[in-house]
Amino acid sequence: MRYFAGFVLCCLVLSGFLPASGKKHRHRGEPKTEVELMNSIVSCLQRKDTTGYYYLFPPFDTLWRMVISNSDHTPEAEKQLDNLKKHPQALIDFDPFYNHHIMSRFTDVLQKGEDSGIHWNGVVVERYEFQNEPVTRDLAGYEKIAPDRMKGFLFLKDLAGRQTFCITISEIQKIQGFYFGGQVINILEASTIDQYLAKEEKERRYLEWLAKHPIIDTPKIDSASKLNLDSLSAAADDDNSKVRKEVVERKYYEGKFDNEIPVSLYVRYMKDLHTGKVAFYDGLYKFGDQKNYVRLDITLADGKWLMEDDPPVGTLELVLKDRIYTGSWLNNDNATGYDVLLKQADLPERKMEQLEKILERGTSGAANQDTAPEKSPEEIRKEKEKKMNEDRGNDGN
């Protein structure tokens, strides 16, 4: 591995990576604060300025110089930086001169935005929400160069079209106190993160469907203003029923809504036999005094589980950690809801067979039948007490 790294570095020197020969590539734009960097990215989008965008990124030669001449000589730092010396490709990927995907995604976002009806010359920054990017194994030690690396969502207001668009963005890096980078990834019309994620999931499902069922002379799917993602997603969902699937895992959970209403949840994981990967989920749940289980349409995106009643009444938005689901159930009509806490439980074979039959035969019920999801926990508690008192009276007789 050391010999390979040495060979790569020799190639880099000969090709002009290092400061001695990379004259026109050594100098980039002025260092910026976080706000200045965001404004610069938006300015590049407004003016379709690929050159200006290119110069927002730190060049490889600068990053490499910071690795080999780092002032931190502690054993731990030396060990971490040695990892970067053995894997220079990790640094090369931050430089658009060598990583052409950075610039191609920029032009893709420009085109997709136009297809979606955005007026680039009339957009302003509405807000942005970022979080730290995790350190991957191949980047171990890079925190000595860039202690902060962020990704997240940049919201733009199109003043001409009175629409809000969301751009996903990654690799915003703080180096020596200033901010560089900002790789734009995708753009969709959305005013919240949840709305963006839901649309992105529909887009992802359709792209997967389209890859398996190419359509001749179809308009660009990027054009959100010309193409209804909901209908495309529905078409993909219909066809998903014909995709060969295999259930590879079944999980059962029990818990409560608002720490009062008992709930049971059944989730199936299914792999696509064509790709061999887990790509589909479905399930059932029952809460309160419902007589029948309700079927759930389930999607997983960025660690968030979205489970919608079928037919739609409410939506579970959950996070799974340590075999425990936490989150909320929200009514689709009036935005009322419950806090949710569900823990994984044993699934007896007889119970599993019962739940499988419900899914296979389509005998599930609806969330608005047999019980009223709008009942408050206090109403549920009073009904329980009344039933308990009635039971005690019957036992006394």
pLDDT in tens, 332-383: 776 678 899 999 999 888 888 889 888 887 766 655 554 444 444 555 556 6
d(CA 171, CA 1): 27
Average pLDDT over residues 111-138: 89
Whole-angstrom distance, CA of residue 103 vs CA of residue 183: 9
User: Is-contact 318 339, C-beta < 8 A?
Assistant: no
Question: How high is the pLDDT of residue 211?
Answer: 75
Q: What is the pLDDT of residue 229?
A: 54
> CB burial class (10 A; 0-12, 13-18, 19+) of residue 249?
exposed
Backbone angles phi, psi at 381, to 5 degrees: -65, -45
Phi-psi region of 175 (alpha: psi -120 to 50; beta: other; left: phi over 0): beta
342 and 265 in contact (C-beta within 8 Å)?
Answer: yes
More confident residue, 44 or 67: 44
Backbone φ, ψ for residue 296 (5° rounding): -120, 135
What's the longest Cα–Cα distance across the chain? 99
- pTM of this prediction exceeds 0.85: no
